[in-house]
């Protein structure tokens, strides 16, 4: 099984990029108010550059009532005061560029906060330029034709459609299949005005120096679309085309999970998301509970019997369509620790940093920060336990995240690993990123070929002249077809006269040309 994906944008070189996701309120607090901020991120650029990071994605930083941690935008043109100012963002971008790091903002195009000025105008009973910026039904006793809706909140005679939480009314990009009078065509004046408004938002932040956007719920724009999302794709092709006409090097990565559609829409990258029993889920999250190790059947859990082929058969067809980023985790998924041991997480990072696409590291995963069960905060619910403060220095109050009193922190520090303790995983991450960035065979669109193995728990793949073999199991295993020079290894992996010997939870990169 071999394939080389096409470049997403021929003018854009993403080959050696490594993406790092920052949850801004939990990364670094510069002013002691207990909440992370833009100046705090700027103060940690040396750490990111030393790690080898080339691109950061900031979760939403725009003004918001924070009923969904900023994914309920109140003003696309205003930085949330708790994070700082526009000037602070410009400083961050300028300093990041000096460190060789690009900056992506989180764009939420499918909905806003109910407090957004657009929505407040749209909710007025008298027609105005924003009346069709959102999706409203014909009268206050109408339903949403199968879509979630709210009625009785405003004087306008209609109910409005939601995109996620109650506080997030859906912006109007039209309907592909229409069976009610209030369902507009994607090319009607209202939906076209919504497109233009979002294009202007993107242009504004690109003009200030930002490098691009991670796009939230990118597939959710046109309602009642076909399964292959052709109407939504057409909307994105239009908007991206207009932005790229002015900013040809803009970087766009989608939260879509279907790279064949995301790349057709014009995105440069897509994320492999944690969906139920999909291939990514099988790798590290096949557990009934984020903290349940006993019943964990994840491929990278040492005691599991899940074969490598369960992942391969799902991933390989998707990879063919372009850059498909594997993630260590994100703000919506439980962290791998403490359910997976450090050795198991090291094996997973070995995989993450040697696979195609742009590897994406969620802040703190590189040191083994742990998922904790804590009360919900800002609409996080079960996700809140993956959003705790970054742990910089175990000798400092709040692990160096903030000088505020512990009770004033955005979320409590979870404890455990920290940067100052230099966990083995952190050293491995730094080593593998350095190898990846200087080795074209390991980069984003270099060829990939999965290889047959003598045991179902072995995962082996070739990337040009390099062979990567991972043994996540509890037993020592041998891979006979790896002769050459060891480039990197963990867990005591070693080349012998009979090939590659891998003790439990071991992995290696072998250069077969040497």
Per-residue pLDDT reduced to its tens digit, 501-511: 999 999 999 99
Q: Annotated catalytic residue: which of 15, 260, 393, 481? A: 260
pLDDT of the residue at 513: 86
The answer to whether residue 8 scores a pLDDT higher than 50 is no
Q: Give the tens place of pLDDT for each residue, 448-507.
A: 999 999 999 999 999 999 999 999 999 999 999 988 999 999 999 999 988 999 999 999
Half-sphere exposure for 176 (CA within 13 Å, toward CB) = 16
pLDDT of the residue at 102: 98
pLDDT of the residue at 495: 96
6 vs 412, more confident: 412
Q: Annotated catalytic residue: which of 68, 216, 274, 344? A: 216
The whole-number average pLDDT for the span 330-357 is 98
% of the chain beyond a pLDDT of 70: 98
Whole-prediction pTM: 0.97
User: What is the residue-averaged pLDDT of the chain?
Assistant: 96
- CB 468, CB 490: distance < 8 Å: no
The answer to whether residue 332 scores a pLDDT higher than 70 is yes
% of the chain beyond a pLDDT of 90: 95
Question: What dotted CATH number matches 447-511?
Answer: 2.60.40.1180
pLDDT of the residue at 276: 84
Q: Give the tens place of pLDDT for each residue, 224-247.
A: 999 999 999 999 999 999 999 999
Least confident of 121-130, 274-283, 472-481: 274-283
pLDDT of the residue at 317: 93
Beta strand 75-79 with 269-271 is unpaired
Q: Give the tens place of pLDDT for each residue, 53-82.
A: 999 999 999 999 999 999 999 999 999 999
Which part of the chain has CATH 3.20.20.80? 2-113+209-437
378 is catalytic: no
The whole-number average pLDDT for the span 174-189 is 98
**What tokens were used for 104?**
């992506």
Using alpha carbons only, give the angle 350, 339, 455 rounded to the nearest 5 degrees.
Answer: 50
DSSP class per residue in 118-164: HHHHHTSSS--TTTTSB-B-SSTT---TTS-EE-SSSSSSS-EEBSS
pLDDT of the residue at 7: 37
- 9 pLDDT band, cuts 50/70/90, is low
| Sign of the CA dihedral with 364 first, then 365, 370, and 376 last | positive
Question: What dotted CATH number matches 2-113+209-437?
Answer: 3.20.20.80
- 4 pLDDT band, cuts 50/70/90, is very low
pLDDT of the residue at 6: 40
In b/e form, how buried is each residue of 82-121, taking b as 16+ CB within 10 angstroms? bbbeeebbeebbebbeeeebbbbbbbbbbbbbbbbebbee
216 is catalytic: yes
pLDDT of the residue at 430: 98
pLDDT of the residue at 10: 61
Q: Give the tens place of pLDDT for each residue, 127-139.
A: 999 999 999 999 9
Q: Give the tens place of pLDDT for each residue, 395-446.
A: 999 999 999 999 999 999 999 999 999 999 999 999 999 999 999 999 999 9
Beta carbons within 10 angstroms of residue 251's beta carbon: 25
How many residues are recorded in the chain? Answer: 514
Which part of the chain has CATH 2.60.40.1180? 447-511
Beta strand 251-254 with 212-215 is parallel
The answer to whether residue 2 scores a pLDDT higher than 50 is no
């Amino acid at each position: 099984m071999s394939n080389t994906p096409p470049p997403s944008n021929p003018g854009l070189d993403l080959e050696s990029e490594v993406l790092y996701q920052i949850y801004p309120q939990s990364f670094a607090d510069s002013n002691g108010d207990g909440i992370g901020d833009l100046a705090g991120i700027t103060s940690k650029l040396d750490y990111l550059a030393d790690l080898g990071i080339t691109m950061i994605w900031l979760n939403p930083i725009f003004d918001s009532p924070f009923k969904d941690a900023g994914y309920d935008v109140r003003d696309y043109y205003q930085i949330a005061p708790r994070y700082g100012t526009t000037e602070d963002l410009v400083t961050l971008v300028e300093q990041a560029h000096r460190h060789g790091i690009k900056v992506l903002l989180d764009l939420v195009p499918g909905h806003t906060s109910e407090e957004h000025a657009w929505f407040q105008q749209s909710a007025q009973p008298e027609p105005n330029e924003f009346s069709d910026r959102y999706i409203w039904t014909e009268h206050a006793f109408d339903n949403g034709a199968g879509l979630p809706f709210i009625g009785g909140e405003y004087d306008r005679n209609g109910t409005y459609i939601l995109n996620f939480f109650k506080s997030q009314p859906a912006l109007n990009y039209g309907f592909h299949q229409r069976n009610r009078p209030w369902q507009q065509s994607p090319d009607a004046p209202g939906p076209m005005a919504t497109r233009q408004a979002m294009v202007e938002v993107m242009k504004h932040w690109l003009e200030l120096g930002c490098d691009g956007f991670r796009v939230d719920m990118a597939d959710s724009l046109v309602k009642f679309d076909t399964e292959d999302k052709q109407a939504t794709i057409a909307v994105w092709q239009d908007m991206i085309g207009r932005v790229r006409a002015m900013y040809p090097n803009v970087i766009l990565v989608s939260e879509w999970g279907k790279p064949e559609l995301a790349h057709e829409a014009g995105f440069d990258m897509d994320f492999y998301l944690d969906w139920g029993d999909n291939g990514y889920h099988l790798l590290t999250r096949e557990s009934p509970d984020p903290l349940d190790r006993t019943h964990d059947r994840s491929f990278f859990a040492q005691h599991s019997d899940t074969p490598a082929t369960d992942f391969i058969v799902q991933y390989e067809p998707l990879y063919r369509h372009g850059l498909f980023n594997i993630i260590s985790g994100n703000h919506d998924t439980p962290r791998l620790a403490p359910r997976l041991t450090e050795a198991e997480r090291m094996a997973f990072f070995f995989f993450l940093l040697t696979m195609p696409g742009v590897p994406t590291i969620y802040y703190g995963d590189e040191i083994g920060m742990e998922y904790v069960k804590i009360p919900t905060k800002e609409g996080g619910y079960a996700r809140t336990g993956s959003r705790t403060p970054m742990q910089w220095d175990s000798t400092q109050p709040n692990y160096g995240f903030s000088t505020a009193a512990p009770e004033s922190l955005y979320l409590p520090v979870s404890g455990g690993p920290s940067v100052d303790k230099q966990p083995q995983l952190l050293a491995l991450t730094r080593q593998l990123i350095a190898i990846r960035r200087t080795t074209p065979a390991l980069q984003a669109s270099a060829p990939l070929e999965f290889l047959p193995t003598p045991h179902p728990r072995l995962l082996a793949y070739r990337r040009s002249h390099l062979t990567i073999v991972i043994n996540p199991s509890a037993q020592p295993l041998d891979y006979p077809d790896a002769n050459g020079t060891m480039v990197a290894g963990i867990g005591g992996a070693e080349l012998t006269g009979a090939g590659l010997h891998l003790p439990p939870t071991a992995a290696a990169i072998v250069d077969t040309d040497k």
